[in-house]
Structure formats: C-alpha cells, structure tokens
Structure 1
Amino acid sequence: MRREALRPRLLGRRVPLPLAAWLTLVWTALWGEVSVGTVLGGLVTGLVVTWLLPMPPIDRGIRLHPLPLVRFLAYFAFDLVISTGRVVFYVLRPGDPPAQFVRVPLRTTSEPITVLVMVAISTVPGSLVVERYPGELLLHVLGRPGDVAEPVRRDVAGLEERIVTAFGTSRDKEELV
C-alpha cells in the first residue's frame, strides 16, 4: 500500500513521485535559482517526463538487512586491520613475501552478491580477485605462509555468507544451504 501511495495515477498511468521530485531538483539546479516558477516548472516537467516515458520496474537483487549488515561491517573492519598488519609485516621484512593463487568456489549464483564478494575480497590488503569463472573465483593471496587453500576457502565462504545475510534475497539465502 505504501508503494502505491508514491505512484499515483495521472490520466490512467502511474507516475513515480520520488522520481518526479528528483527531476524537479535537477531542473532547479540546472536553472541555478530557487523560485516558485522554477520549482513549478521543474515539477511539471518531471511529471510529464515520468508520465510520457515510464521506467520499467528494476529489481537490483539486493536487500538491506540492518543487523546482519552491522555484523558484516564488524568482521570486515577486523579483517582489514589483521590483513593490513600481515601485509606490512611482510613488506618490512627482507625477502619475498609468500604468495599463492587459490581457486575458491562460490555457492551463490546472484550477480550482485558475487560482485559484492569480489569487491570485499579485493578491498582487503593481501587478497585480490584475479579472475571470475562460473561458480568460482581465482584469488591471489599475499602474506600467508604454507598451504593456505583451505583456510582461504573457509574465509571466503564465511564472507559470502555474511554478505548474503546482509544484502541477499531469500533465494540467495536458500543457495547457501
């Protein structure tokens, strides 16, 4: 019911008021002055444009769940601190740092969730997504000695789960099971 209130009908066609308001703001900014005439002209233009050129509904495949988002951000911040310390240690130490390539399977098939996982991995120092294959990622991992394939896979699985819990749809959550 709330969404319907934001999309009243004008001559039989729905007009999204938030988009019309945004277009009014852009119109006013382009004219460079805030006056009654400019705002009314922007509002009329916004209503006409949204009525004549209706946008199809877009589902970005992302939902926001506040408490799991806080959990994800806490883990992510902790991982940033630990990984930064690890990389700094190996940079200051003489010799080459340990580095490996690791193939990591993904359980989700959602493109937006996969992109979020890739961004989160690449943001953390010492890890980089080199390639994306269907259902898996190839990572370059720096600063972790020994055979790190299984620990890295577990870390990415946990990251993927936290991202799906914070941003995923119910279908995304079903894929993790």
Structure 2
Amino acid sequence: MTQPGPTPANRPLTRQDRRRNRIVAMTGLVAVWMLLWGTLSWANLISGVLVAVVLLAVFPLPPVTFAGRIRPLPMARFWLRFTRDLVAASIHIAWLALRPRHTPRGAIIAVPLRVNTDLNLTLTAEALSLVPGSLIIEADRTTGTLYVHVIGVRTIEEVERFRQGVFELEARIVAAIGSPDEVRRLTSADPAGPSRPVDTEGAPT
C-alpha cells in the first residue's frame, strides 16, 4: 500500500486564522477544565474561561493550525464512545482495586499515531489520560508517538488490544474534527507492525 506523502509546508497564518486558532484553543482548554472538575456549572465555566485566558496570555503556545472542520455526527459518536469507555474503565479499575489477593500488572506501551500533528497528538493524549487506567507519561512530538502507562495488562494480546483501541480513538477524533487530507492519511495508513511494551511490570515482553 502506498504510504501518504509528506505534509506540505504550512502557509503563513492570516489574522482570521489566528483568531480561529485562539477560539479553538480557548474552547479546548475550557472543555478540559470542565472535564477535570466533573461538574457542569456556571462557576466552573466562568473559571475555566478565566484560566484559559490567563494561560494563553502568560504562556503563549506555538501556533497550532486547525485546518479541519467540525462534523456534528462523528463528534456525537466520539462523545458517546468516550462516555462509554469512561464508565467501563472506572468499573474495571474499581474491580481491580477491590479484587482480593490480586496484584494488578501494568505496562508502558509505545503507540505511534498515524496523523502526526500537534493538535491530534494533544487531543488523543488528553482523551487517553482522562480515562481511568491509562496515563500518558511521554509524548514524542517528532515521531508522533505516545508512551502510555496502562494498568491491568497481563498478556501481549491485551497490549495489542489496547494499541488498537488507541488507533480507534485517534480515528474518531480525526473523523470529528480532522481535515479531509488528515482523514485520507488516516484511512490509507496502516499501523506499522505490532507494538511492544517499552517497560513492563510483570507483563510479558
């Protein structure tokens, strides 16, 4: 299968592009703030806006161009699946904590994303970290690789199942907000070989 070619160089950002990117960054930061608090309220919304304004003013981020489009139906599918994964993972972690005479095993898994952009790397990492049982310990911006600590992993098959789940999460994010070029790159790219735990805590290597 032909691999997608290199992404063309980004054009200079116009004033409209910069305004749109600030709105996207503000919306993302406020959404993460609300998710971290876990309560939808005016107080959390207003405080999230204030925190986002301060962060963007005091710690300006490098420009992340949002070249995609928001698609309502894929966005709804993403949130429904994310909510389901959140509930399922919470139940699983609670069972591991309460299970008698059982020591949970874990692994650090390297997952190279197929769409290597700052926005996709950030959103995928945030979505993974918000689900109990998985935590991003490093993100390699150069290669677009996430290093994820996962609890409750015992076999190579479970490692591969988690890796495939990350690819599916990435696909849902790109389908919801990605550009047509990113969607094409995602559907034409195959995961390069099996993943392996970079480090394990009792899981097989």
Taking structure 1 as the reference length, what is the TM-score of the superposition? 0.64
Cα shift readout 1:128-175 (whole Å, capped 9, x = no counterpart): 111112221111001233222211111001000000000111121122
Higher relative contact order structure (alpha carbons within 8 Å, sequence separation ≥ 6): 2
Distance (whole Å) between structure 1 residues aligned to residue 119 and residue 128 of structure 2: 14
Distance (whole Å) between structure 1 residues aligned to residue 133 and residue 72 of structure 2: 28
Opposite residue 163 of structure 1, the aligned amino acid is I
Unmatched 5+ residue regions in structure 2? 1-14, 20-63, 189-205
Cα shift readout 1:5-30 (whole Å, capped 9, x = no counterpart): xxxxxxxxxx98xx9xxxxxxxxxxx
Mapped contact 1:62–1:168 kept (Cα < 8 A) = yes
Mapped contact 2:68–2:180 kept (Cα < 8 A) = no
2:103 is matched with 96
**CA shift at 1:60, angstroms?**
2.8
Unmatched 5+ residue regions in structure 1? 1-14, 20-57
**CA shift at 1:59, angstroms?**
4.0
Distance (whole Å) between structure 2 residues aligned to residue 129 and residue 92 of structure 1: 24
Q: Where do residues 137-156 of structure 1 align in structure 2 (5 Å cutoff)?
A: 137-147=146-156, 148-156=158-166
Opposite residue 167 of structure 1, the aligned amino acid is I
Q: How many residues were matched structurally?
A: 123
1:76 is matched with 82
The structure-2 alpha-carbon separation of the partners of 1:62 and 1:122, relative to structure 1 and needing over 3 Å to count, comes to: farther
Opposite residue 139 of structure 1, the aligned amino acid is V
1:86 is matched with 92
Opposite residue 159 of structure 1, the aligned amino acid is L
Distance (whole Å) between structure 2 residues aligned to residue 63 and residue 123 of structure 1: 24
Mapped contact 1:99–1:140 kept (Cα < 8 A) = yes
Cα shift readout 1:104-142 (whole Å, capped 9, x = no counterpart): 121001211111100000000000111112221111001
Identity within the alignment, %: 35
2:134 is matched with 127
Opposite residue 86 of structure 1, the aligned amino acid is H
2:113 is matched with 106
Opposite residue 128 of structure 1, the aligned amino acid is L
Q: Where do residues 22-37 of structure 1 align in structure 2 (5 Å cutoff)?
A: none
Cα shift readout 1:77-101 (whole Å, capped 9, x = no counterpart): 1111111111001111244212111
Distance (whole Å) between structure 2 residues aligned to residue 87 and residue 145 of structure 1: 14
What is the CA RMSD across the aligned residues, in angstroms?
2.0
Taking structure 2 as the reference length, what is the TM-score of the superposition? 0.55
